[in-house]
Amino acid sequence: MSYSIDIYKGKLEPTKNFIAFAAFVSFFPQLVAGPIERASNLLPQFLNKRAFNYAKAVEGCKQMLWGFFKKIVIADNCAIYANMIFDNSTEYSGSTLLLGVFFFAFQIYGDFSGYSDIAIGTSRLFGINLMNNFKYPYFSRDIAEFWRRWHISLTTWFRDYVYIPLGGSRHGIWITIRNTFIIFLASGFWHGSKWTFIAWGFIHALYFLPLVLLNKNRINITPIAEERFFPSIHELMAILLTFLVTCLGWVFFRAETLGHAFSYIRGIFSMTLFSVPDFDGRKSALMTIFLIAIFLLVEWAGKSDDFAIKRLFSGSHRIFRWGFYYILLFSIIICYVYTVPQEFIYFQF
């Protein structure tokens, strides 16, 4: 669609090379679940002569390794407990239901951003650069920043081909409100024709709208804790609040029906919210929580790069660097063997 629209608007010249066009349309790494590439970025790369680049290939392999870790070690382990709790939500306490939402939050992030890392890394082996699709969204300080960091290729697509052509926020408050709801409802509908997805988009529109109307949607442009390892107390509280409201939206995304979503939320905000979570496999879930903590630490350490391990241990001795890579590889193999593999979530959309 972007190819046709850009040609119609005169932003792009039609290509006369059918092979390059066919490669653009069917480029396998990102074909199923993104990143959603545009012809203006991807098509010229097929028209240019390419040679094998060792440094780029090494970087691609590292990004693929991190993507497989996200998917198999983080997402698939979180899926075990997220599915158990969501599928039997009436049986659990509020604290257990809240933990189930956290598990799903890291399941969908590890699953989808992991796929994107694998796709981007695979493309680098062919000398093709795909756009970055995730930039540590759970470190966002407000919901506007979250959407600049989550599924970037889809967010920018809706911005450039829907929101701005409709007038964006340049034509008064009511047009701004209308356009904000249109793009978020369209984003929900893009995921599927279920009311839960529409509700998810509607909720994020409600989150986003006050920031747009108060002109505060671009106050967090600079990287979080730039040139610092530790965030400030204010930044940490903003990150936690943004993560919590995002998780509230994930309930609607994961629930089977609207009734299921509302009953799940009612269950969270019950008197049992402050009880100790209790569910089958609770002890083994502690290992998954530990892995999530390690995962977040690595992501935080590499938050200034395109992917977390791009330069991690780059200045260290080869023993430490390769030891880290082998730990990742070993954990991927162990989890793949002993954990039931889960289909990529975004394959269903």
pLDDT in tens, 63-86: 999 999 999 999 999 999 999 999
Q: Tell me the mean pLDDT in the region 143-162.
A: 94
Whether the per-residue pLDDT at 347 is higher than 80: the answer is no
Closest CA to 149 of 311, 314, 306, 322: 306
Q: Which residues are catalytic?
A: 191
pLDDT classification of 145: cutoffs 50, 70, 90:
very high
Output phi, psi for 111, to 5 deg. Answer: -65, -50
From residue 136, give the alpha-carbon distance in Å to each of 96, 118, 149: 26, 16, 6
Q: Tell me the mean pLDDT in the region 188-213.
A: 93
Whether the per-residue pLDDT at 226 is higher than 90: the answer is no
pLDDT of residue 50: 82
pTM: 0.94
Give the C-alpha separation, 342 to 335, whole Å. Answer: 12
pLDDT classification of 207: cutoffs 50, 70, 90:
very high
Whether the per-residue pLDDT at 152 is higher than 90: the answer is yes
Q: Where are the domains of the chain?
A: 2-47, 54-141+220-348
Whether the per-residue pLDDT at 150 is higher than 70: the answer is yes
The per-residue pLDDT of the chain, averaged, comes to 92
Q: Tell me the mean pLDDT in the region 92-109.
A: 96
pLDDT of residue 340: 79
pLDDT of residue 63: 96
Q: Which residues are CB-neighbours of 122 under 8 A, at least 6 positions away?
A: 29, 60, 64
- For residue 16, how many C-alpha atoms fall within 13 Å in the half-sphere facing its CB? 0
Query: Of 344 and 288, which is predicted with more confidence?
Result: 288
Whether the per-residue pLDDT at 59 is higher than 80: the answer is yes
Q: Which residues of 157-180 are buried (b: 16+ CB within 10 A; e: fewer)?
A: bbeebebeeeebbeeeeeebeebb
pLDDT of residue 342: 81
Q: What is the pLDDT of residues 233-290, one digit of tens each?
A: 999 999 999 999 999 999 999 999 999 999 999 999 999 999 999 888 888 899 999 9
pLDDT of residue 243: 98
Give the C-alpha separation, 196 to 250, whole Å. Answer: 10
Q: Tell me the mean pLDDT in the region 40-63.
A: 91
Output phi, psi for 280, to 5 deg. Answer: -60, 135
pLDDT of residue 349: 67
One-letter-per-residue 3-state SS of the chain: CHHHHHHHCCCCCCCCCHHHHHHHHHCHHHCCCCCCCCHHHHHHHHHCCCCCCHHHHHHHHHHHHHHHHHHHHHHHHHHHHHHHHHHCHHHCCHHHHHHHHHHHHHHHHHHHHHHHHHHHHHHHHCCCCCCCCCCCHHHCCCHHHHHHHCCHHHHHHHHHHHHCCCCCCCCCHHHHHHHHHHHHHHHHHHHCCCHHHHHHHHHHHHHHHHHHHCCCCCCCCCCCCCCCCCCCHHHHHHHHHHHHHHHHHHHHHHCCCHHHHHHHHHHHCCHHHHCCCCCCCHHHHHHHHHHHHHHHHHHHHCCCCCCCCCCCCCCCCHHHHHHHHHHHHHHHHHHHHHCCCCCCHHHHC
pLDDT of residue 84: 95
